[in-house]
Amino acid sequence: MKFDISVPLYGLSLASFKIFSPDTNRQEALTSIIADRLQNQGRPITATSASDLRDYLVVTSGDATLPVRLDLPWVGRELFEQRKAMIAQHLGQEISDAQAVTVLLIDYVIEHAAVSLVDAIETK
């Protein structure tokens, strides 16, 4: 799957890399992060309010000029389409592949931040 992303979405991708790579002890591509999010059985995406997710989509929108390729296996592509439909239903609007990726990355960052906060509180 190929699509173009905006500079702000690229920045979100980089932030996700910084979180994901130390967890896996290797440099990860966007495909690996998205594949991980598709398999996530933890915190549901719908845990974040639709209005907050729409706000994030506005912030990460812009001229989509950076080409990205997600090399998901067939099963991953099916999961992506299912998750994309679930996100679209939660938002109450149709979304592009890039917007679905945005929500998956935002979900990852939010989940990681929540875990980090709980860890910080528990160590005090």
- The pLDDT assigned to 34 comes to 82
- The pLDDT assigned to 42 comes to 61
Closest CA to 95 of 60, 57, 45: 57
Kindly give the residue spans of alpha helices, DSSP state H, lying in the chain.
7-24, 30-39, 50-59, 74-91, 97-123
- The pLDDT assigned to 84 comes to 92
Q: What is the pLDDT of residues 32-82, one digit of tens each?
A: 778 877 877 666 777 788 888 888 888 777 777 777 777 787 778 888 899
Phi-psi category of residue 6: left, alpha or beta, with phi > 0 → left and psi -120 to 50 → alpha: beta
Q: State how far the Cα of 79 lies from the Cα of 37, in Å rounded to an integer.
A: 10
Q: What is the pLDDT of residues 84-119, one digit of tens each?
A: 999 999 999 999 888 888 888 888 888 777 555 445
- The pLDDT assigned to 91 comes to 93
The letter for the amino acid at 75 is: V
Q: What is the pLDDT of residues 10-28, one digit of tens each?
A: 777 777 777 776 666 655 6
Closest CA to 76 of 100, 43, 112, 110: 100
